[in-house]
Each structure stands twice: as structure tokens, then as C-alpha cells.
């Protein structure tokens, strides 16, 4: 299958405390998985696109779970199984209503051992868009090299490159080192996504317009700044500039909302949509993702987007 979007990066097992409060008082946890890049792949597939995920997992049951769930979501997988390192884990708690805290156990685990030879050239070269994030850069030299190797393949094949900063401060001792690594990836990307704080780290600019200008100056065709409750803004190399308001929804969990946004934007791009449609769908996807728990479980289908845009009505469907 030739994918609309192929995403490369780390997926992890996920343990979520059932109850609100401190982890030390939790007695029950739910097992699942998450990961920014696989979230994007699932989001594209939920909307009806063709997606694939490339990564490295342990030769263990959590790795099996991740592959099985991705297949269940119609995501094609290209997975190296590591017999020497287990699949990484993250713990997610809700210290109080409306807040989440995630702790990672990933150093030396399978995802941090992703390397260039794990990247299948046919999967990348046959896609419309390759999507990578700054998480791979922060995991270590090998995952960073794998991301650049995938970009090399995409460039040679005429495949668009999408880069989401996705800054994880715990992966970096020095923010300046992170910024330099992100700029290297952004300079090779056609599409760059960043939250407002991430855009400031990437460019040094503190205002949205300056951030968009600086990202375009790096060579991107499309610069998108995610602004949370304030919506989003996009600037394109053809001179297009747009601001998108956020959709108002009851928020259950914001984890994964940024990935949902990216999935919606990329899905519309692969359908030939213009900037206004791309941003609107992205904002709608991000909003719907906030209405349920989990990294990807609440990612919307077209029906979910239609319901959000329709608004109001009887909440009970009979």
C-alpha cells in the first residue's frame, strides 16, 4: 500500500491510573499504548486516509499489543523487533481533574535504538508525506540519524516532509542543543508544526507572525503554529496567511490533541485542500481529541467532525 502519510518514531506502552490523585495511591491501572507519530498515523486512518508507521519495538507482549492495535486502526506497520531491549513505557496520572502528568521510562529501550537501517525505503518513497518529530532527535544519535535517513529517502523520491517540533524537555539537558537539532530537521521539511513555546525555541521569535516568518525563512513551504485555546495560525510560501479560532468543547484530556491537529491538517493536504480547510479540520480534530481520555482513542472519524461542526442537538442518539 502506498500511504498518504507515513510516520516514523517511537511508540510506548502506556499505563494509566484509573483514579484521580497521586500515583502512590493508585491501585488499578489500564494498559494501552501511545506515541506522537503513531497517534498521527491513527488520526489519518480514522479520517479515511491511508497511513503507515515505522518504528522499533521490543520482542515482547507490549510490542505485540502496539502492532495489533495499529493494525486494528488500519495503520500499516513497518516494525523492527528488538530482542535485546524491551518496548519503552510511560505512566500517566491525573493529579487533579483536567490535568495529566506523564512519566517516561524510555532510555535504552527499543524505541531509542531505532536506526537508519530500520527505515524501509519503499514505504517512505511510496508515500505522499513523511512525518517526523523532534522526539526522535531527543532520543539519541541513532533515532536522530534514522529521521534524517528517512528524510533523505523522501527527498530523493519527491515525497513531502512534515516535521512537528514536539519538544520534550526531559530528553534534553540543554535547550540550545534541542533548538539546534530541531532547526536541522525544520530546514529539511516542507511543513513545520510547532506550539507557540516550541516555535519560540525553534526561531527565537516571541510573536506568532515573527515565528511564522522565521520558519518560512528556514525553507518550509508551510509554517503552522498551534495556539491551543487561541486556535492556530498558518503562513505559506505563496503568501497565504490565515488564523483559525479554536472549537469550544468540554475538555477531558488534552494529551494527543496536538497530534490530532497534525493528522487533520496532513489528511486534508493529501486531499488537495486549501489552507482554510486544512486549518479548520486540524482545529476540529484537536478539539474532538480533547473530549475523551487516552492518547489516540478519542481521535475523530468524519462523523465525529460533522457532529462537532453541527453543534447542539440532542446528546442522546436513538
Q: Is residue 30 part of a domain?
A: no
Q: Is residue 223 part of a domain?
A: yes
d(CA 263, CA 42): 8
How far the first Cα of the chain sits from its last, in Å, is: 38
**The Cα angle at residue 109 between residues 108 and 111, in degrees rounded to 5:** 115
> Cell match 480547510: residue?
277
DSSP string covering 14-77: EEEESSSS-GGG---EEEEEE-HHHHHHHHHHHTT--EEEEEEEESSHHHHHHHHHHHHTTEEE
Domain that holds residue 241: 5-11+36-87+119-306
What pLDDT, on the 0 to 100 scale, is given for residue 22?
A: 83
Across residues 129-149, what is the average pLDDT? 98
Please give the backbone phi and psi of residue 197, each rounded to the nearest 5 degrees, phi first.
-65, -40
Is the pLDDT at 134 greater than 60? The verdict is yes
Query: Any idea what the CATH number is for the domain that residue 62 is in?
Result: 3.40.1190.20
d(CA 288, CA 300): 6
Supply the angle between the helices 275-289 and 302-310 in degrees, to the nearest 10: 90
d(CA 68, CA 42): 13
What pLDDT, on the 0 to 100 scale, is given for residue 99?
A: 73
Q: Is residue 254 part of a domain?
A: yes
Q: How far is CA 279 from CA 45, 99, 174, 185, 286, in A?
A: 18, 26, 33, 23, 10
Long-range contacts of 24-33, Cβ-Cβ distance < 8 Å, separation of 24 or more: 26/93, 29/91, 31/62, 31/65, 32/65, 32/69, 32/294, 32/295, 32/297, 33/62, 33/65, 33/66, 33/69, 33/295
- 280 catalytically annotated: no
For the segment 25-43, what is each residue's pLDDT rounded down to a tens digit? 888 889 999 999 999 999 9
For the segment 220-273, what is each residue's pLDDT rounded down to a tens digit? 999 999 999 999 999 999 999 999 999 999 988 888 999 999 999 999 999 999
Is the pLDDT at 138 greater than 50? The verdict is yes
Supply the angle between the helices 141-157 and 175-186 in degrees, to the nearest 10: 20
d(CA 158, CA 99): 41
Q: Is residue 166 part of a domain?
A: yes
Q: Is residue 240 part of a domain?
A: yes
The number of folded domains in the chain is: 1
Q: Is residue 218 part of a domain?
A: yes
For the segment 263-304, what is each residue's pLDDT rounded down to a tens digit? 999 999 999 999 999 999 999 999 999 998 888 999 999 999
Across residues 89-94, what is the average pLDDT? 89
Q: Which positions ≥6 away from 310 have C-beta within 8 Å?
A: none
> Cell match 512537528: residue?
164
Q: What letter would DSSP give residue 116?
A: G
**Which residue in 4, 118, 164, 259 is the catalytic one?**
259
Please give the backbone phi and psi of residue 128, each rounded to the nearest 5 degrees, phi first.
-85, -40
Nearest to 69 by CA among 57, 84, 83: 57
Q: The whole model's pTM is what?
A: 0.95
Q: For 70-84, 87-101, 116-130, which range has the lowest pLDDT when averaged over its residues?
A: 87-101
Q: Is residue 274 part of a domain?
A: yes
d(CA 255, CA 239): 32
Q: Is residue 135 part of a domain?
A: yes
The region that residue 9 occupies, defined by phi over 0 for left and psi between -120 and 50 for alpha, beta otherwise, is left
Amino acid at each position: 500500500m502506498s500511504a498518504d502519510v507515513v510516520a516514523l518514531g517511537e511508540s510506548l506502552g502506556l499505563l494509566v491510573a484509573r483514579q484521580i490523585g497521586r500515583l502512590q495511591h493508585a491501585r488499578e491501572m489500564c494498559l494501552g499504548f501511545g506515541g506522537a507519530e503513531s497517534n498521527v498515523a491513527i488520526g489519518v486512518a480514522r479520517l479515511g486516509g491511508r497511513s503507515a508507521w515505522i518504528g522499533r519495538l521490543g520482542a515482547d507482549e507490549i510490542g505485540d499489543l502496539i502492532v495489533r492495535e495499529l493494525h486494528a486502526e488500519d495503520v500499516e506497520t513497518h516494525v523492527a523487533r528488538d530482542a535485546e531491549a524491551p518496548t519503552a513505557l510511560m505512566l500517566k496520572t491525573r493529579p487533579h481533574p483536567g490535568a495529566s502528568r506523564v512519566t517516561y521510562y524510555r532510555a535504552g529501550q527499543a524505541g531509542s535504538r531505532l536506526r537508519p537501517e530500520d527505515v524501509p525505503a519503499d514505504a517512505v518513497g511510496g508515500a505522499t508525506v513523511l512525518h517526523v518529530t523532534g522526539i526522535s532527535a531527543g532520543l539519541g544519535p541513532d533515532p536522530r540519524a534514522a529521521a534524517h535517513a528517512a528524510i533523505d529517502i523522501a527527498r530523493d523520491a519527491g515525497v513531502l516532509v512534515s516535521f512537528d517540533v514536539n519538544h520534550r524537555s526531559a530528553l534534553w539537558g540543554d535547550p540550545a542543543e534541542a533548538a539546534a537539532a530541531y532547526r536541522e530537521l525544520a530546514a529539511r521539511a516542507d511543513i513545520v508544526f510547532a506550539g507557540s513555546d516550541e516555535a519560540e525555541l525553534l526561531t527565537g521569535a516571541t510573536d506568532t507572525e515573527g515565528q511564522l516568518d522565521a520558519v518560512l525563512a528556514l525553507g518550509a513551504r508551510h509554517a503552522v503554529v498551534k495556539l491551543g485555546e487561541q486556535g492556530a495560525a498558518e503562513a505559506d510560501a505563496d503568501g497565504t496567511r490565515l488564523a483559525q479560532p479554536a472549537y469550544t468543547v468540554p475538555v477531558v484530556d488534552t494529551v494527543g490533541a496536538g497530534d490530532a491537529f497534525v493528522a487533520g491538517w496532513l489528511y486534508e493536504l493529501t486531499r488537495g485542500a486549501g489552507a482554510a480547510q486544512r486549518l479548520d479540520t486540524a482545529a476540529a480534530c484537536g478539539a474532538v481529541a480533547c473530549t475523551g481520555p487516552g492518547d489516540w482513542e478519542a481521535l475523530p472519524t468524519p462523523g465525529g467532525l460533522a457532529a462537532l461542526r453541527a453543534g447542539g442537538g440532542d446528546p442522546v442518539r436513538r
